[in-house]
Structure 1
Amino acid sequence: MTAGTLARRGFGDSDRAATLLRTAGLSPDRHEEIIDELGRAADPDLALLGLARLLESGPAPEELRGALGEDPELRTRLVGVLGASAALADHLAGHPGDWRELRGPDAARAPSAAELRSGLLRAVGADPNATAPVATLTNGATEETAHALRVAYRRRVLRLAGRDLTGHGDLDATSAELADLAAATLDAALAIARAQHPEEAALCRIAVIGMGKCGGRELNYVSDVDVVFVSEPAGDCPDEQTAARAASRLASTMMRIPAETAGGGRLWDVDAALRPEGKNGPLVRPLAGHVTYYERWAKNWEFQALLKARPIAGDAELGAAYTAAITPIVWSSVNRPNFVEEVQAMRRRVEEHLPPEGADREIKLGPGGLRDIEFAVQLLQLVHGRSDPSLRSGNTLQALQALSNGGYVGREDAAGLSAAYRFLRRVEHLLQLYRLRRTHVLPGTGSAEEAAHLRRLGRAIGFTADPVTGLIAEWRRVAAEVRRLHEKLFYRPLLHAVARLPSEEARLTPEQAGDRLDALGFDDPAGALRHLEALTSGVSRRASIQRTILPVMLGWFSEAPRPDAGLLGFRQVSEALGTTPWYLRLLRDDIRVAERMAWLLGTSRYVTDLLLRAPEAVATLANDEDLVRRSSAGLTAEAGAALRRHGSAENSVAAVRALRRRELLRTAAADLLGVAGVGEVGEALTTVSAVTIDAALRTARERVAEESGTEPCTRFCVVAMGRFGGNEITYASDADVMFVHEPLPGSDPARASGEANAVARELRRLLEMPAADPPLRLDADLRPEGRNGPMVRSLDSYAAYYRRWSSTWESQALLRAAPVAGDPELGARFTELIDPIRYPAGGVADSAVREIRRLKARMEAERLPRGADPALHTKLGRGGLSDVEWVVQLAQLRHAHRLAGLRTTSTLGALRVATEEDLIAAEDAAVLETAWCMAARVRGAVMLVRGKGGDSIPSDLRERAALAAALGYSSDNGGEGATERLLQDYRQVTRRARAVMERLFYDD
């Protein structure tokens, strides 16, 4: 076979390969299957070298060559091992008959833990059925017996690697078998120790507790085997301390045997550093000493280590007693102060102390490595496992599956972590198999040897086209995904919230829930319990997630003014969304959404009503950015798209009203959560109202034109008035408007007027028709002549009216007029028309000022509702909105003709300009602005809390308490303190504003 042919088959040094083939007696014509198999190995050159050495050292090379030719399974296993592990090739060269371990049905079968234990105990001459097996020392020497144990261990590893490297065992089975093999080795080593120290063996019972990967049955090919020892007296032993000293000698001897380098080679280290007090503590303790230590002095990280504790060798009964005593302590450890924070900090410290060399190639401890997965899974287990026994597995993959089954981790996230864990562990196994050395750092690319190692790894994993590039790219992808999921799960706020709950409240029974609901202040604990049972009963994934988050949410509901209403609303929203995957995921993964839901539903009937109409809007609570007011342009584009999607006028406007409902909910949530201030709320509500009216107007005009069968003959514009025009609309406000039209050139004025009125009627019908979404009522009472005047006027009619009959109050009303929908050119011309009226040249006359003052006094006397407290009425009461607005509007009427800055429809905008122009002192302006903002906030909060409008602070004590909470007042005495502070603050602020108003408004 030529060098070129060998190179094409995958051999790197084809000349050397040709020489080795001749040395091994392998010819292309007789052994083509063997040569082909060698070419498929992870490292063909390494496999061929190992096979040549085996044939050269073995007593019957022809038997091996013949077996390889006849038995394809043997051929695949042997070549697979030789191509991936130089260390196992060395073992075969030293024990050439051991190739038979890879042949026959036993080579393809995974042994049980009992079979492994029995085999290794027999290898040291011990009886596997004995309670405390004792080895038979060959020629009375420990070394020869220990050598036999290490060789037997290597044979088992060889057989396991044969299956592992040829795809006959998955990661779970391989890791479990390695852990069982390590446990069997320790049992055999302990049998040797008993034989060497029979006096000590007679004095004690000793159990070996596996920790770490061995305890979790997920061991690597080469890893420290972490253990803890526990002892009890036996036979005539006088006390526990004597037994512990005897057990320490046995344990020390046992630990040395796998770690010795003579005879069969070093297997691995036995590490007892995870014992109580670490390396400074006694090697062996009695069971009572362990319990005392963990109850009194253990640090938080030690409980995380105990999560994987499992008896693996020695006295089985004592090991079971250890597990029974320690397990309850482990699963209550999360109640300790700062438990979650300390576990998270420990993971960060591990990363910070990584040695710089190779840190970027560290697949175990580095970012995106195995530790990221393990720490995330373990923390989730410890937090949720105290109340859910299904999570109490020491095995990472099994625990991850349980977390997924229980709804604690999303299915996709769990599948991603599981696949990543298997990939990283596979790479780790292959790294260690090469030399059977403990390592978890990928080779670099700086030398030919490192590149060859990477190539071998890549081919072993399945990247045949470009092994190095494929392996590195996949590792980087996996590491990035692991890091993303680690940060999502490991730092999940839900962990902190659940960890702060007492153990008995983490997953409530109906009896516990009833008691807690009563203690938390629910008015109807029995009704609340029915809601909880409806949400959490059953075995569905939805119920599992609800069982996880509801114990935490109950505390948040209790902090809201109406816990019962909040829980009911939560149930209704959850049932409306059903099994919607994103909703369940959002609640679990972003606990802030659940916390915000609890507050909003327990505080605001208005928000609850909106949310029940569109429960999918829950998603907007995840980010503050989603609560920020959207631009007019963005909303206009969305409204236009909604109109195009629907055929009928009713359906089109219904879609736009649904958009408005969503924006109302967004604004209300931002308001209650403190994301938006008074000004932002007013602007947001004004913007969405204007967009809704404009979209509905387009539809109304099309409908009127369609019904008339003629082209439109007039332009049409909607002018906002009052708070609408001032960008100060509230949740309960109707939209104050005026309608203006202008016939197109050559059009019949009567026909144009009829069309304009038809458009106005259709516009109001579409915006107010019964539907699931809140109506938008248009109030045109501020039009010329009020309710007695025509609904729609032409621009010329407005001009004639204002020229002849305009009243002072109409000039004042026009201060807040602003076109918001319809023909923009017509709106601009209307603005030009009214500017001289609202900003009269030379300012308003003294007689008009007196009239304005009379109107203000009359309004206070006649329009304040009967029985209303003037000190608590936000609109017409003393120091309320009207007081501030009339002061500002009087300044505008007097001075806007000469000060362009005052020509604004905004109350606070005009107030600030008046202050800058020294029309109002800064101190007075600050008092007025504070009062206006507080009255506006209170008025808006009344609507949010009650679900219906109201201008006065409620007299009902429960509603007052809810209002105070919505406004950010907190109290420790049932809400009375908060309510009193609200009333005190409101009266104080408005009293000062009233004094300023009377001085500025009535004094010349």
Structure 2
Amino acid sequence: MTVPGRRSSTFTRLLRHGFTDPSAAEQLLETPELGPVRDDPVLLDALGATADPDLALLGLVRVVEAQDADERRTLLDTLATAKPLRDRLLGVLGASEALGDHLARHPHDWHALVTYEAADLHPGVAEFERGLAGATDPVALRIAYRRCLLAIAARDVCGTTDVAEAAAELADLATATLRAALAIARAEAPADASQCRLAVIAMGKCGGHELNYVSDVDVIFVAEPADGFDEGKAMQAAGRLAAHLMRICSETTVEGVIWPVDANLRPEGRNGPLVRTLSSHLAYYQRWAKTWEFQALLKARPVAGDPELGRAYVEAVSPLVWQAADRDNFVADVQKMRRRVIDNIPAAQVERELKLGPGGLRDVEFAVQLLQLVHGRSDATLHSGTTLDALAALAAGGYVGRADAAQLDAAYRFLRAMEHRIQLYRLRRTHLVPEDEADLRRLGRSLGLRTEPVVSLTKEWKRHASVVRRLHEKLFYRPLLDAVAQLAPGETRLSPRAAAHRLEALGYADPAAALRHLEALSSGVSRKAAIQRTLLPVLLGWFADSADPDAGLLGFRKVSDALGKTPWYLRLLRDEGAAAENLARVLSAGRLAPDLLLRAPEAVAILGDPDGLVPRGRAHLEQEVLAAVGRAESAEGAVAAARGVRRRELFRTTAGDLIGSYGTEDSPAEEDPGALVDRVGNAVTDLNAATIAGALRAAVRAEWGETLPTRFTVIGMGRFGGHELSYGSDADVLFVHEPREGVDEQEAARAAGRVVAEMRRLLQLPTAEPPLLIDADLRPEGKSGPMARTLGSYEAYYRRWSLVWESQALLRAEVMAGDTELGARFIELIDPLRYPVGGLNDEAVREIRRLKARMESERMPRGADPTLHTKLGRGGLSDVEWTVQLLQMRHGWELPGLRTTRTRSALAAAHAAGLIDTEAASILDEAWVLATRVRNGVMLVRGRAGDTFPSDGRELAAVGRYLGYEPGHVGDMLEDYRRLTRRARGIVEELFYGAHL
């Protein structure tokens, strides 16, 4: 009897042996049935060696209690004398609650754990078939399957087999089970069986000999009519047999389920027929299959049914598998599928996802399969469906560095072992690392981590996942550097042909040039070369993820040639994680941003500053430009300095736009395209306004010093005034002046004319900087009128001669540079014109509609597709802007919200005032934003402005990437554009041309 308050010696021993509830364990040990072994120290040691001693003891009590007297005596005697059985039975009971339940229901199945001979260590399909023999119905098959599973689990938890061998045994057991299920199906439908030849092809982990304890078993069915039978009826019979086989394995009975049989990898997936002939399979793969389907076929293996037909299937599809890497967008397709898998994981589970999350098992499998498909075209040694065997072959062939392969092998084995033990506990299909402390403790102990198992498990898991994340990219790109490096004699490296294959698969159009760039960047023993060798594997991945990898790599070489000896540049790329990725994204996105950067490579520092991609405001820019102008010794030097600021800030804006559109690993793409458009429009507008202010100051100083004889202001018009400039837009302006006191009006006019001419001359000087063209054609009398007018002259002209289109143009007038007080008076002058009291009369509305219709018919470029022209086409910028402007002119006098130069703000105000319903406003806004983004994207990609989508395939793909479309989906992009602008045009026809204004 234990004295209250004092622990018994048994309690202490149990605690020392790893029991977490010694009190409950003491009571279980008092179970009468355990009498013969209760005091055996060997039993306690064996229980303490299990993953969960408490669970093992409870399971043992249940198993012993389930025996009859004679069987119980035999079991206990064997437990006491036979270490192999003791270790295996208790090991299983301590690791798997589900198998403990099975042994309690089927108490004689413990005999399956007694045998411990050489043949038992690594059984194959034949041994498992013998184990399933006699199972003639689904229930008996489940019992026999679990009995076989007991032996696999025992070998696994006792370390008799490693994780790869256990996975292969599980795949062999699945093979034997499929054969047994097919035999049952045939026996129940002999007429169907006689009409057809049916082969079962294992896919996925079963096909790859690397199955989990609990997993869907992926299959494809192929059939042919038996001799003398009609094909149609034979295929129907084969379909019934296949469906019956699936039910036998998948349906839940009193003994539970074996595993689901999944045939969704077949052609057309669940929408396609369950069974096809061999010729039908081939026809599909040759014409319609996607890249991922060939990737899946890499693991195809005949496992059941007609062996000759199964072999014929694999022999027929195998050549197609090894041609997959020649497909357009091959690598992009594979990477896209991987990203899609990660994106579909619930956010709360990503960090616990052992299989699908970043650094998980799927990363290893995808990387290995990608390399197999690229290099397996010319190297048959890589044709293995088993991940670790394929990884070893890749290392042996020099396609993967041996050290990298060894680290990846170890990480994969550890992660698979975790997955196995998680599933083994309750025999449930899961890949989530548990959160419960007790579950983590059992999991850690099952993997041999006995000292602080929870802490040790978490540490090891994170370490291996980190290795996988790091090597996932390096595995593919590092050997490309080794291929051009001077390796020690005898070291394995990619052959030039293999390196070219890999670069082609990555999307490089000129692999020979790419290899030359890699050699130039990474060869030698300098610090620069060492850092480049570290950076390039990751950079190559980012370049490959773009529409133009060649341009990205070439641009990086040029920037590195210019800055490679600059210490801060190498330090920036090495230490600032975002800088290198930002640089890669910018260099491979098109021509404009790289051209800006290469004119002044030091601007790359912007990419390492957390705030570096945020555009500077107009006040800041104007202050910097005017200061630079003040320091210059000549007008030409002053404008050159202003243009230098503009170039740098234009690079900042383009880089921010690209990164915001594409995103990075740490910062996803910006979700609101409208915000990106507004940011670009404001930034380019402010930048051009500051540049014009600088040119104005330079022109005045050149002839008049600090003070011009006439006050002078620059009014922005069109997109300039609307803060909606694209990268390639001209700056529409009006020039307004007013003589200073005591200055003759003619003298003032001559001064104003000369300053305008000098500003234009300075801004048009030949230079490597991006041009800024100012256009004054919207002035009174157009090209026939004076470039600059006094405020009084404007007032007289508008009072006597102004046409409705001129009032419409003034809707976007805003002060941009020069005398702000004079500019404010000009705005005050024109407000009654652009927002006429009482709105427009019917004649003015008809005139605006007539002008719009005339513009549509006369100004569309010959041969242009009106459904894809962003400015003048259906539902494009002009449609939306004219509709909004008509609303402004009719209602601006009474609705202050409409008195804005910005299209989107005016549209929002019209919606708020009830002039346009929510759906229509949303469609018009979305169409305007998309058309603007297309124009920006075209300029970014081509380096020159354009109002329609590029005709060149690579340029079109690059615009697609900018707009958020995955590679290979430019057709979707064009169709989406047409669909949205078609809807926008319908609204324009109702609002602008109809009677609803």
TM-score, with normalisation over the residues of structure 2?
0.52
Residue 983 of structure 2: aligned partner: 992
State the SS of the aligned residue for 2:732.
strand
Amino acid at match of 2:931: A
**Distance in 1 (alpha carbons) for counterparts of 2:711 and 2:404:** 77
Query: How do 1:652-801 and structure 2 match up within 5 A?
Result: 652-673=638-659, 674=661, 677-706=676-705, 712-801=708-797
Which moves more between the two structures, 991-1000 or 332-341?
A: 332-341
Structure 2: gaps (5+ residues): 1-156, 170-209, 211-353, 360-395, 417-436, 438-455, 484-493, 662-669
Task: Tell me how far apart the structure 1 counterparts of residues 472 and 702 of structure 2 sit (CA, whole Å).
Answer: 55
Question: How far apart, CA to CA, are the structure 2 residues paired with 1:769 and 1:636?
Answer: 21
Query: Residue 935 of structure 2 aligns with which residue?
Result: 939
> AA paired with 1:879?
G
Q: What is the correspondence of 1:109-128 to structure 2 with a 5 Å cutoff?
A: none
Instruction: Provide the rounded CA distance (Å) in 1 between the counterparts of 2:862 and 2:980.
Output: 24
Residue 337 and residue 797 in structure 1: after superposition, are their counterparts in 2 closer, same or farther (change >3 A)?
A: farther
Tell me: CA distance 1:738–1:498, structure 2 relative to 1, closer, same or farther (3 Å). same
Instruction: Choose which of 816, 826, 834 in structure 1 pairs with 2:830.
Output: 834
Alpha-carbon distance in 2 for matches of 1:691, 1:594: 30
**Alignment check: 8 A CA contact 1:838 1:893 kept:** yes
1:869 alignment partner, SS class? coil
Q: Deviations over 1:109-143 (max 9, x none)?
A: xxxxxxxxxxxxxxxxxxxxxxxxxxxxxxxxxxx
Question: Residue 926 of structure 1 is aligned with which of 918, 922, 926?
Answer: 922
| Match status 1:955 vs 2:929 | no
SS in 1 for 2:699: helix
Is the 1:510–1:529 Cα contact (8 Å) retained in structure 2?
A: no
Once the 2 structures are TM-superposed, how far is the Cα of residue 955 of structure 1 from its aligned partner?
A: 2.6
After TM superposition, the structure 1 = structure 2 runs for residues 331-350 of structure 1, keeping only pairs within 5 Å, are 332-334=406-408, 336-337=410-411
SS for the counterpart of 1:878 is coil
Q: Which residue matches 2:874? A: 878
What letter corresponds to residue 592 of structure 1 in structure 2?
A: A
Match of 1:820 in 2: 816
- Does 1:911 find its partner at 2:907? yes
Residue identity in the other structure for 2:827: T
CA change 1:933–1:336 in 2 (3 A) is farther
Q: Return the offset for 1:340.
A: 13
Q: Which amino acid aligns with 2:984?
A: A
Query: Conserved in 1, the CA contact under 8 Å of 2:735 and 2:788?
Result: yes
Q: Say if 1:878 and 1:991, in contact at 8 Å, map to a contact too.
A: yes
Q: CA deviation at 1:619?
A: 2.1
Q: Helix, strand or coil for the counterpart of 2:734? A: strand
What residue number does 2:973 align with? Answer: 982
Aligned to 1:555: 541
1:630 is aligned to 2:651: no
Contact 2:811 2:900 in 1 (8 A): yes
Contact in 2 for aligned 1:767/1:775 (Cα 8 Å): yes
Residues 96-495 of structure 1: pairs in structure 2 closer than 5 A: 332-334=406-408, 336-337=410-411, 495=470
Bigger radius of gyration among the two: 1
Tell me how far 1:504 sits from its aligned partner: 4.2
Partner Cα separation in structure 2 for residue 625 and residue 515 of structure 1: 40
Contact 2:712 2:737 in 1 (8 A): yes
Query: Does residue 607 of structure 2 align to residue 621 of structure 1?
Result: yes
Q: Partner letter of residue 929 of structure 2?
A: C
Secondary structure of the corresponding residue to residue 736 of structure 1: strand
Aligned partner (choices 553, 575, 579) of residue 567 of structure 1: 553
What is the deviation of 1:653? 1.9
Q: How has the CA–CA distance of structure 1 residues 500 and 845 changed in structure 2, closer, same or farther, with 3 Å as cutoff? A: same
User: Once the 2 structures are TM-superposed, how far is the Cα of residue 332 of structure 1 from its aligned partner?
Assistant: 2.2
Percentage of identical aligned residues: 55
Question: Is 1:854 aligned to 2:850, yes or no?
Answer: yes
- 8 A Cα contact 1:784 1:801, kept in partner: yes
Q: Aligned partners of 1:552, 1:717: CA distance in 2, in Å? A: 51
Deviations 1:876-899 (A, max 9, x none): 001000000000100111111111
- Give the equivalent residue in structure 2 for 1:590: 576
How far residue 957 of structure 1 moved from its aligned partner, in angstroms, is 2.7
CA distance in 2, matches of 1:779, 1:914: 30
CA–CA separation in structure 2 for the residues paired with 1:640 and 1:852: 41
Deviations 1:1-58 (A, max 9, x none): xxxxxxxxxxxxxxxxxxxxxxxxxxxxxxxxxxxxxxxxxxxxxxxxxxxxxxxxxx
Give 1:173's aligned residue.
none
Q: 1:808 aligns with which of 804, 807, 810?
A: 804
Unaligned stretches of 5+ in structure 1?
A: 1-279, 302-324, 343-351, 353-370, 384-490
Instruction: After superposition, give the CA deviation of every residue in 1:589-635 in whole Å (9 maximum; x if it has no partner).
Output: 23433333223222211111111112122222235521112222222
Tell me if the contact between 2:477 and 2:537 (Cα under 8 Å) persists in the aligned partners.
Answer: no
- CA contact 1:732–1:943 (8 Å) conserved in 2: yes
From the superposition, tell whether residues 496 and 858 of structure 1 become closer, same or farther in structure 2 (CA, over 3 Å): same
Contact 2:411 2:467 in 1 (8 A): no
Does 2:861 align with 1:865? yes
Q: Do the aligned residues in 1 keep the contact of 2:404 with 2:471 (CA within 8 Å)?
A: no
Looking at structure 2, the residues matched to 516 and 815 of structure 1 have their Cα atoms a distance apart, in angstroms, of 56
Q: Is the 8 A contact 2:760 2:774 kept in 1?
A: yes
Secondary structure of 2:612's aligned partner: helix
Compute the displacement of 1:739 (Å).
Answer: 0.5
- What does the per-residue CA deviation read over 1:507-559, in whole Å, with 9 as the maximum and x for residues that have no partner? 44572533321221211111111111111222211111112222222222122
Q: Which amino acid aligns with 1:741?
A: H
Shift, 1:281, TM fit: 11
Residue pair 1:340, 1:499 contacting (<8 A) in 2 also: no
Post-superposition Cα deviations, 1:868-919, rounded to whole Å, max 9, x if no partner, equal 1110000000100000000010011111111111111011111111111111
Query: Match of 1:486?
Result: none
Structure 2 Cα separation of the partners of residues 584 and 889 of structure 1 = 51
Contact map agreement 1:494 1:590 (CA 8 A) in 2: no
Following superposition, the deviation at residue 684 of structure 1 comes to: 0.9
For the structure 1 residues 590 and 501, does the alpha-carbon distance in structure 2 shift closer, same or farther, using more than 3 Å as the test?
farther
Superposed displacement of residue 505, structure 1: 5.2
How far apart, CA to CA, are the structure 2 residues paired with 1:292 and 1:871?
A: 60
Q: Which amino acid aligns with 2:565?
A: T
Deviation at 1:1003, TM superposition (A): 1.4
Distance 1:787 1:626, change over 3 A: same
The 10-residue stretch of structure 1 (622-631 or 540-549) with the greater mean CA deviation from structure 2: 622-631
**Which AA in structure 2 matches 1:522?**
Y
Q: Distance in 1 between matches of 2:791 and 2:409?
A: 74
Counterpart Cα distance in 1 of 2:957 and 2:482: 31
Shift in Å at residue 494 of structure 1?
9.3
Change (3 A) 1:845 1:292: closer
Match of 1:63 in 2: none
Q: Is the 8 A contact 2:714 2:733 kept in 1?
A: yes
Counterpart residue number, 1:970: 966
Secondary structure of the residue aligned to 2:945 is coil
Please state how far the C-alpha of 1:968 moved relative to its aligned partner: 1.1
1:851 CA drift (Å): 0.6
AA at the equivalent of 1:606 = L
Aligned AA for 1:700?
A
Q: Secondary structure at the match of 1:753?
A: helix
Shift of 1:499: 5.1
Q: 1:758 to 1:341 in 2, by over 3 A?
A: farther
Q: Which residue in the other structure is 2:488 paired with?
A: none
